[in-house]
Structure 1
Amino acid sequence: MQNYNDFILTRSPYYITYSATASLFDYATLDLWVWSGDKTTPPSTKNFSLTSYKARTSDNSLYFQVNDYINGFLDPQISDNTYFTGNTASFVSTEAVWVKWVLKSYKLSAGVGTLYQTSTQSGKPATLGYGYVTDGYNPTLATSSIINQSDRFGVDTYYHYNVSLNTTTNQSSQLFTRVNSTPANNLCLGDLNFYQIIFLNKWGVFDTMDFSRKSTRSISINSEKYDAYRTRPDIFSQYRGTSRIYNINANEEWILNTDLLDDYNNEVMEQLFLSDRWWLYDAEKQLAYPVILTDKKFDEKLGVYEGAMIQWTLKFESANNKINDIR
Structure 2
Amino acid sequence: MAKINARSPYYVNISASNLTQVDMELYVYTGTQTTDRTNLFQLTSFAITENVTFEIGEIVRDYLLQTFDGDYETLNVWVDYRTKNYISGVAGSFSSYTQLTGFDGYGYYEDEANPQNDSGLLQSNNIIVKLDDAPAVIPVDTSKTSQVTYEKDGELVYTFAVTGGVYSDKQIKYVTNGVNGADTFEDRVIQDGGTFEDSACLQEFADDFTLFDFDTIYIDTDDGVIKLTVDNIQECKYQPFKITFVNKFGALQDIWFFKRSNETLSTKDEKFKRNIIVNGAYDTSRHQEKILTKNGKEKLTLNTGFYPEEYNEVFKQMQLSEACWIEIESKTLPVNLSGGSFSYKTVLNDKLINYTIDIDFAFDTINNIR
Q: Which residue of 1 aligns with 2:6?
A: 10
Q: Which residue of 2 aligns with 1:160?
A: 136
Q: Which residue of 1 aligns with 2:31?
A: 37
1:66 aligns with 2:66: no
Q: Which residue of 2 aligns with 1:212?
A: 258
Using the TM superposition, give the Cα deviation of residue 295 of structure 1 relative to its aligned residue in structure 2, in angstroms.
2.3
Instruction: Kindly indicate whether the alpha-carbon contact (under 8 Å) linking 2:123 and 2:249 is maintained by their aligned counterparts in 1.
Output: no
1:29-178 maps to which residues of 2 (within 5 A)? 29-46=23-40, 48-55=41-48, 59-79=49-69, 81=70, 83=71, 89=72, 91=73, 94-108=74-88, 113-147=89-123, 150-167=126-143, 168-178=164-174
Cα separation, partners in 2 of 1:19 and 1:325, compared to 1, 3 Å: same
Q: Which amino acid aligns with 2:32?
A: D
Once the two structures are overlaid, the 10-residue window that deviates more, 266-275 or 135-144, is: 135-144
Cα separation, partners in 2 of 1:180 and 1:316, compared to 1, 3 Å: same
- Indicate which of 263, 271, 280 corresponds to 2:309: 263
For 1:209-248, what per-residue CA distance to the aligned partner results, in whole angstroms no more than 9, with x for missing partners?
A: 0001100111111111111134533672122221211221
Using the TM superposition, give the Cα deviation of residue 208 of structure 1 relative to its aligned residue in structure 2, in angstroms.
0.8
Q: SS where residue 97 of structure 2 aligns? A: strand
Structure 2, unmatched stretches of 5+, are 144-163, 178-213, 215-228
Using the TM superposition, give the Cα deviation of residue 40 of structure 1 relative to its aligned residue in structure 2, in angstroms.
2.6
Q: Which residue of 1 aligns with 2:153?
A: none
Q: Which amino acid aligns with 1:60?
A: E
Cα separation, partners in 2 of 1:98 and 1:235, compared to 1, 3 Å: farther
TM (norm. structure 2) is 0.76
Q: Which amino acid aligns with 2:51?
A: S
Instruction: Kindly indicate whether the alpha-carbon contact (under 8 Å) linking 2:276 and 2:286 is maintained by their aligned counterparts in 1.
Output: no
Using the TM superposition, give the Cα deviation of residue 318 of structure 1 relative to its aligned residue in structure 2, in angstroms.
0.9
Q: Which amino acid aligns with 2:311?
A: N
Instruction: Kindly indicate whether the alpha-carbon contact (under 8 Å) linking 1:26 and 1:54 is maintained by their aligned counterparts in 2.
Output: yes
Using the TM superposition, give the Cα deviation of residue 8 of structure 1 relative to its aligned residue in structure 2, in angstroms.
0.6
Using the TM superposition, give the Cα deviation of residue 36 of structure 1 relative to its aligned residue in structure 2, in angstroms.
1.4
Q: Which amino acid aligns with 1:136?
A: E
Instruction: Kindly indicate whether the alpha-carbon contact (under 8 Å) linking 2:309 and 2:346 is maintained by their aligned counterparts in 1.
Output: no
Using the TM superposition, give the Cα deviation of residue 114 of structure 1 relative to its aligned residue in structure 2, in angstroms.
2.8
Instruction: Kindly indicate whether the alpha-carbon contact (under 8 Å) linking 1:102 and 1:119 is maintained by their aligned counterparts in 2.
Output: yes
Q: SS where residue 269 of structure 1 aligns? A: helix
Using the TM superposition, give the Cα deviation of residue 137 of structure 1 relative to its aligned residue in structure 2, in angstroms.
1.2
1:279-298 maps to which residues of 2 (within 5 A)? 279-282=325-328, 285-298=329-342
Q: Which residue of 1 aligns with 2:239?
A: 193
Q: Which residue of 1 aligns with 2:193?
A: none
Q: SS where residue 232 of structure 2 aligns? A: strand
TM (norm. structure 1) is 0.85
- The number of aligned residues is 300
1:323 aligns with 2:319: no
Using the TM superposition, give the Cα deviation of residue 305 of structure 1 relative to its aligned residue in structure 2, in angstroms.
6.5
Cα separation, partners in 2 of 1:244 and 1:72, compared to 1, 3 Å: same
Q: CA RMSD in A?
A: 2.2
Q: Which residue of 1 aligns with 2:204?
A: none
Cα separation, partners in 2 of 1:287 and 1:189, compared to 1, 3 Å: same
